[in-house]
Structure 1
């Protein structure tokens, strides 16, 4: 029922793209007239990604370029003829320096995804004194920084000092599944067992602490969240998604996350 994840090496993709996009220019020119830019770009990318799933091809924030997300890999900006691709973030030149450009399409897609989530779609760790902020975290149980994030849910020690955890700061952590090795991997099976457990939060807590739990199976959203995360720009774990559509790929300590949340309010 689940599909295998396709993990794309950025360096390999860049090398392969340069070689593949340079071939068959004449054939591409002949066929381009009968295709939309979206169709042309998808056809070209299919040649170099080995059939990796792709997000929708759409106009980018830079006029004349199109954006597409390789699921589990990089985000690309591609010319309309599919002959040139750029990997990396886009920046706006301002008086203060280079500022990352937020893609309105992705921001809206992330907001829509968050608003579509139902209670059983996430495994939640809620502050005992009440929730002030919510952060959605794409997680994998076999990920060192994911375990580090989880170990700081409550008060922890850093360089001998006591530090407030996410819940202590009023941040409710709602976990989403993102098994980096793919939707058919042992990591995915562990996540499914947690989602299907009688007490999902306790089960996930055990997995984060390298303890075993009883295998379980149900209609858990592991595959759906893995694929959706890739569409939304998740390329690794943990990735922190805020309700306002901002995404932070990588670990943020509790106080840094709170600062980031409050800066966007």
Structure 2
């Protein structure tokens, strides 16, 4: 899976077969649109066209953007011969800020807006909910457990710090078993979603305790996994915000307050 590669290694893996595929299709490239040319060049490198999101013009003039399902977003030349992977930064007098794909921003907003109340496992603050963050989680992920352990007040390096709940942040979990559908991790997540007390089951799993194995047709594990990969999720925890921003990796509760403030 794409998430098992570091960016440098991933770029090498993509570019080598990409160049070969582009060369093989050079004779017919002139008759194709840039979108078709890029898809034809990339598909053999990533395991088929089904592993690619739509190809569309990027925020950089002359380059096209394509999301690899469960992997990175690539910036690709119109001839499909070269690609760049990595964070896109905006240069400003105050420093650098990461640029997120406008297409994916809108797609994430639509996905989150369409979620039903029973599709996520929610941990609400005891008081007022000031912010909501959606977290793609895997119960066998160390940093996912760390995030869950910081739901309430916690101690770090001798200092008592507020948890997400203490800061008015509601955490809504979505499922993302990194080992894929059909894995033991996916089965554990399904047991949590099918449990009579979902929050208690997830608490136990995050504490590496067993729960009763359950299956149910309503469990959204596969949908969350596939859609997450299409929307840029390739690691856990992955924090998706209602404004469409995606933040990969663990973020401390107090850092999240600052992130929410920037997005307002």
User: Residues of 2 paired with 1:204 and 1:24: CA distance?
Assistant: 45
Query: Normalized against structure 2, the TM-score is what?
Result: 0.93
The Cα of 1:122 is off from its aligned counterpart by 0.3
Please name the residue that 2:259 is paired with.
260
The Cα of 1:245 is off from its aligned counterpart by 1.0
Mark the runs of 5 or more structure 1 residues left unpaired by the alignment: none
1:246 aligns with 2:245: yes
The partner residue of 2:28 within 23, 27, 31 is 31
Q: Cα deviation per residue 1:192-214 (whole Å; 9 max; x = unaligned)?
A: 11001111111111100111111
Q: Cα deviation per residue 1:33-76 (whole Å; 9 max; x = unaligned)?
A: 23222222112111112337122211111111111111122210
Q: Judge conservation of contact 1:71–1:230 (CA < 8 Å) in 2.
A: yes
User: Residues of 2 paired with 1:125 and 1:132: CA distance?
Assistant: 13
User: Residues of 2 paired with 1:81 and 1:8: CA distance?
Assistant: 28
CA, structure 1 residues 8+255, in 2 after alignment: closer, same or farther (shift >3 Å)? closer
The partner residue of 2:15 within 15, 18, 29 is 18
In the TM superposition, 1:174-253 aligns within 5 A as 174-219=172-217, 220-253=219-252
Please name the residue that 2:163 is paired with.
165
3-state SS of the aligned residue for 2:51? coil
The Cα of 1:187 is off from its aligned counterpart by 0.4
User: Residues of 1 paired with 2:256 and 2:172: CA distance?
Assistant: 14
3-state SS of the aligned residue for 2:172? strand
Structure 1 range deviating more: 91-100 or 151-160 = 91-100
Aligned length: 261
Q: Judge conservation of contact 2:22–2:41 (CA < 8 Å) in 1.
A: no
Mark the runs of 5 or more structure 2 residues left unpaired by the alignment: none
Calculate the aligned-residue CA RMSD, in Å. Answer: 1.7
